[in-house]
Structure 1
Amino acid sequence: MIVTDDPPAPTRRRATLRTALCWVVVGPTAAWAVVRLAGLDRGPLVQALAFTPYVAAASVLTLGLSVALRRWWPAAVAALATVALLGVVAPRALAAPQPTATGPTIRLLTANLLAGSADASALVELVRRHRVDVLTVQEFTPDAQAALDRLGLDRLLPHRQLNAQDGTPGSGLYSRWPIIDVGIRHNRGQGGWGFTQAYGTVAVPGGPPVRVESAHPSAPSALDQVDAWRTDLTAQPPATPDGELRILAGDFNATLDHGPLRALLRTGYVDAADATGKGLTGTWGPYDGDLIPPVTIDHVLVDRRIAVDKVQILPLPGSDHRPVLTTARLPTP
């Protein structure tokens, strides 16, 4: 009788199946980590990368499965992917040190009005209750403008640069304080059609002037829109660390996992929600029962010399976006 140390065939098959199962779940997570770290947001990967925080959370489960099944090579790969993904995502839940800024406080609210269908009374109430100083709006229509003024926004924020249009291209900038050097930026969009961006320099009492723009680059809603999305994001005005203060606030149609937005931040901006530990709070649903989980595509980008005190993500009935309210302190003039 010959005695062998080899496990019986059923045991070997179970081991093989366990190894295969681990690679099946670990492989996509590892590939996602490579794509995210390498900045390979191209084609269909652009939309997918918006959900990186969810993949980062799931990567912990894939690591746990590999360890539980004692599949050590998959576990090693899963560990690397988990560390990489959590390393880029987790800091958004942690507040960062702020620069010393002893100038006046500015409260800025940005809201996408979903082609003007957002509840105008709710928006005006947000402005009133939170004592908003500057408001930027996207998808701003003539009907929305009329409704907001009828409800008293013209008295709360009397200074404005507006470009109300039917549908989604419109943009607006409202302020409690005077605005100078105003204008409208036209994004390229697909086939030369794109969203617009109202801008102007706000004269903050007791503080330095601040250039504020209502940002709204194209959305990567289909593969043929990705090039326009990238072009519009690349064309956003960079920060001017040695010049005037700038704030870009609006619907960027991009998360912090998209390379073009990170490149814009590197010019000298800080994402206000990220700086205050609110960077993982979703701002776009949809909130109508669809299974798509929320993602963070609405941002307030502030000059690095501005200290962010607080960020709140607020509800706005009638819109599929949630407004972002940022309270910040400006440097002294």
Structure 2
Amino acid sequence: MITSPDAGPSIGRAARVRTLLCWAAVTPGLAWAALRLPGLERGPLVQAVAFTPYVAAWTPVPLLLALALRRRWPAVVAALAAAALVGVVAPRALPGGQPAAHGPELRLLTANLLAGAADARTLVDLVRAHRVDVLTVQEFTPDTATELDRLGLATLLPHRQLNPQVGTVGSGLYARFPITGGGIRQNRGGWGFSQAYGTVTPPGAPPVRIESAHPAAPYAVDQVEFWRTDLEAQPAATPQAGLSILAGDFNATLDHAPLRALLATGYVDAADAAGDGLTGTWGPYDGDPIPPVTIDHVLVDRRVAVRSVAVRPVPGSDHRAVLAELRLPAV
């Protein structure tokens, strides 16, 4: 067989091009894993990290490319990056083990009302249809408070700790059971979102402290430190003492290091425990072209069992409400 004198160099150039192509495809996933795993997000990268599930879903593509082009080392690196990102994301779609809780059920609904623009009737209908015991609301306004009561919430959930405010800073906690030790906590960052809290004691269960969480949003680089400070200031779980639940708009996903640190104090993300941790709660619901991300959470004490979690649309809001059915420990 006769070959051209230029065949050898041409083959070598083609091989180098294939190698460079593979490394170009592999590097973004590798860099993302190096950022996400140790929690190094800073500045504008805080917003980017919220989309980690989408990057994890993409990481097998560079691996398949490297295998198809028979590039060994790019394939090895691509496999490691894919395993790392898929490994931290995929478990959210799988139900986890539950503690042996034998007390009463507690149905909790949380919703960001977009400065009062959310449809109040939908919210009351959700409370009524699902026999909700506790409702936490964020971006809660005086007009919304009046409208909710007009639509029957005062009868369904007569006990409340409320801080309605014009704009986005208001917060509310409604309950079927009496609320003790209630109050309002003011975040220091960003817009200064408030957080209503109180303790409820369902019959047959120990007291449960519940807070409507709403840390600052990292919507701009100069807000990131406020966001981090507010998340770090959230009440830690108390595994050796009373039960605690935080429910609301955390402006953070399970890929953000400050939220993972809060969970490590003794909380469980209810949606993650139920296998619904990848269901989006914020993004395109008011028309913005943003892929859905999961920033609304119900964090429960590890002694609380999670029966189910569902995400429900609320017209007028850019968030979806999160409904968690829980089982508390017995007294």
Query: Which interval holds the TM-score relative to the shorter structure?
Result: over 0.9
SS of the equivalent of 1:260 reads helix
Aligned equivalent of 2:274, options 255, 264, 276: 276
Equivalent-residue separation in structure 1 for 2:297 and 2:6 (angstroms): 59
C-alpha change, 1:11 and 1:132, in structure 2 (3 Å) is same
Aligned residue type for 2:194: T
* Deviation at residue 15 of structure 1 after TM alignment: 1.8
Aligned equivalent of 1:290, options 288, 291, 315: 288
Aligned residue type for 1:186: Q
SS of the equivalent of 1:38 reads coil
* Deviation at residue 12 of structure 1 after TM alignment: 2.3
Equivalent-residue separation in structure 2 for 1:223 and 1:285 (angstroms): 19
SS of the equivalent of 2:217 reads coil
The 5 Å alignment of 1:29-108 reads 29-108=29-108
Match of 2:124 in 1: 124
Unaligned runs of 5+ in 2: none
Aligned residue type for 1:299: H
SS of the equivalent of 2:313 reads coil
Match of 1:211 in 2: 209
Aligned residue type for 2:196: A
Aligned residue type for 1:118: A
SS of the equivalent of 1:294 reads coil
Equivalent-residue separation in structure 2 for 1:298 and 1:90 (angstroms): 19
Match of 1:226 in 2: 224
Check whether the contact 2:93–2:278 (CA below 8 A) recurs between aligned residues: yes
* Deviation at residue 119 of structure 1 after TM alignment: 0.4
* Deviation at residue 164 of structure 1 after TM alignment: 0.2
Aligned equivalent of 2:330, options 324, 329, 332: 332
* Deviation at residue 10 of structure 1 after TM alignment: 2.8
C-alpha change, 1:183 and 1:48, in structure 2 (3 Å) is same
The 5 Å alignment of 1:310-321 reads 310-321=308-319
SS of the equivalent of 2:59 reads helix
User: Could you tell me the TM-score, scaled by structure 1's length?
Assistant: 0.96
Aligned residue type for 1:154: A
* Deviation at residue 328 of structure 1 after TM alignment: 0.6
* Deviation at residue 290 of structure 1 after TM alignment: 3.4
Equivalent-residue separation in structure 1 for 2:90 and 2:63 (angstroms): 17
Equivalent-residue separation in structure 1 for 2:327 and 2:281 (angstroms): 23
Equivalent-residue separation in structure 1 for 2:235 and 2:206 (angstroms): 19
Equivalent-residue separation in structure 1 for 2:324 and 2:197 (angstroms): 18
SS of the equivalent of 1:247 reads strand
Equivalent-residue separation in structure 2 for 1:144 and 1:303 (angstroms): 30
Unaligned runs of 5+ in 1: none
Equivalent-residue separation in structure 2 for 1:89 and 1:19 (angstroms): 29
* Deviation at residue 14 of structure 1 after TM alignment: 2.1
Equivalent-residue separation in structure 2 for 1:148 and 1:5 (angstroms): 83
Check whether the contact 2:199–2:207 (CA below 8 A) recurs between aligned residues: yes
SS of the equivalent of 2:37 reads helix
C-alpha change, 1:19 and 1:130, in structure 2 (3 Å) is same
Match of 1:239 in 2: 237
The 5 Å alignment of 1:14-25 reads 14-25=14-25
C-alpha change, 1:21 and 1:320, in structure 2 (3 Å) is same
Say how many residue pairs are matched.
330
SS of the equivalent of 2:245 reads strand
Query: How high is the sequence identity, in percent, across the aligned residues?
Result: 70
Equivalent-residue separation in structure 1 for 2:5 and 2:284 (angstroms): 58
Q: After the TM superposition, which of the residue ranges 298-307 and 69-78 deviates more from structure 2? A: 69-78
Equivalent-residue separation in structure 1 for 2:133 and 2:122 (angstroms): 17
C-alpha change, 1:219 and 1:7, in structure 2 (3 Å) is same
Match of 2:154 in 1: 154
C-alpha change, 1:16 and 1:44, in structure 2 (3 Å) is same
Check whether the contact 2:286–2:316 (CA below 8 A) recurs between aligned residues: no
Aligned residue type for 2:41: D
Match of 1:172 in 2: 172
* Deviation at residue 233 of structure 1 after TM alignment: 0.1
Match of 1:138 in 2: 138
